[in-house]
Chain A
Amino acid sequence: LKITAQALALGLVAGLLALLVWQLGHQQHAPAVGAVAPTFTLHRLDGPGNVSLASYRGKPVVLNFWASWCNPCKSEAKVLERDWSSYRSRGVVFLGVDYHDLASDARRFVSHHRLTFTMLEDGSGNVTGSYGVSQVPETYVLNRQGRVVAHLAGPITDPGFSGQFRSAIAKAVA
């Protein structure tokens, strides 16, 4: 009986250790530069239907994670819209992913800032999590093969990021 109790205790400890290892192994990390960006399909925020990232393979993609409750996103929105207008003729796709947000608030935000690039909703934050985004705004620039060219963990309006953003787009387009 004593051996059974010891085996049970050992089994319990081994189970807890396995759980810890599994948890550590499944933590979501930001995809590294050069890695293929995680694929996803999300509902459109600005209309009916879904959008899949895979459908943009062959085109450079700017993937911007934002939320209506995020203050830096407000100043960034204007810049993103301006950049979208100037880069769209070169085949660059801009995708906005609204994260952990009320869809009604997000639509109001899009309308208020007159954003015209494709907007997607990720209310559950699952897709955002797969990109390792912990706070918005964050932006990924992907090349035509769907690989990460740059990851900007902050507003692209930041002095440190604005130049990096443009050079990443130039690299993704090339």
Chain B
Amino acid sequence: VILRFLAVAAAALAFAGPAAACAHPRTSLSYLQGQVMCPTCHTTLDMSNSPAAERIDVFISKKIDACWTAQQIEAALKANYGAGILAAPSHKGFDLLAWWLPIAGVLGGALVLAFGVWRWSRRREPDEPDEPTDSGLDEETERRLDDLLARFD
């Protein structure tokens, strides 16, 4: 990690002179380290200290000092390593699925959850009887029972 830091610092110092002025705000190494993958270890550059990642760090530092934008640097890395070098998939074609599927998954999950909660709350509501329940007694017995109960009113 120390060696990597020194290498990046040395590269930054070496190119500090010609990098005095840029027409646009300068991008940063730390930003791009989070956007670019280490090709050999399949983590972002900021998580890697492999030799391949160190070389990409140096390349990025040089390009930042040469006033390249983040988009230009990413495009150059993509041309060299292929699309897999970028941590985020592109917003075009099949890669678009990678952006929409998680959103669809979250929405789908929320719908399933809401439906489950709705069903659960309905099951817990007491059922209101629409009609008096059948006592199972014949009419004569029921009449006698009503008469008997009326005496206590």
In contact, A102 and B39 (Cβ under 8 angstroms): no
Q: Apart from A70-B51, A105-B55, list 13 A-B contacts with CB within 8 A.
A: A68-B55, A69-B52, A69-B55, A100-B39, A102-B55, A102-B56, A102-B80, A103-B80, A104-B59, A124-B81, A124-B82, A125-B81, A126-B82
Interface majority SS on B: helix, strand, loop or mixed? helix
Residues 76 to 114 of chain A near chain B (Cβ within 8 Å): 100-105
Q: What is the bound-complex CA distance between A97 and B59, given in angstroms?
A: 21
Residues of A at under 8 Å CB distance from B? 67-71, 100-105, 123-126, 135
Indicate whether A125 sits within 8 Å of B51 (C-beta atoms), given known contacts A100-B81, A102-B80: no
8 chain-A/chain-B pairs, Cβ below 8 angstroms: A69-B51, A69-B54, A102-B56, A102-B59, A102-B80, A104-B59, A124-B81, A124-B84
Interface size class of B (residues with CB under 8 A): 10 to 19
Residues 49 to 71 of chain B near chain A (Cβ within 8 Å): 51-52, 54-56, 59
Q: CB of B40 within 8 A of chain A?
A: yes
Residues of B at under 8 Å CB distance from A? 39-40, 51-52, 54-56, 59, 80-82, 84
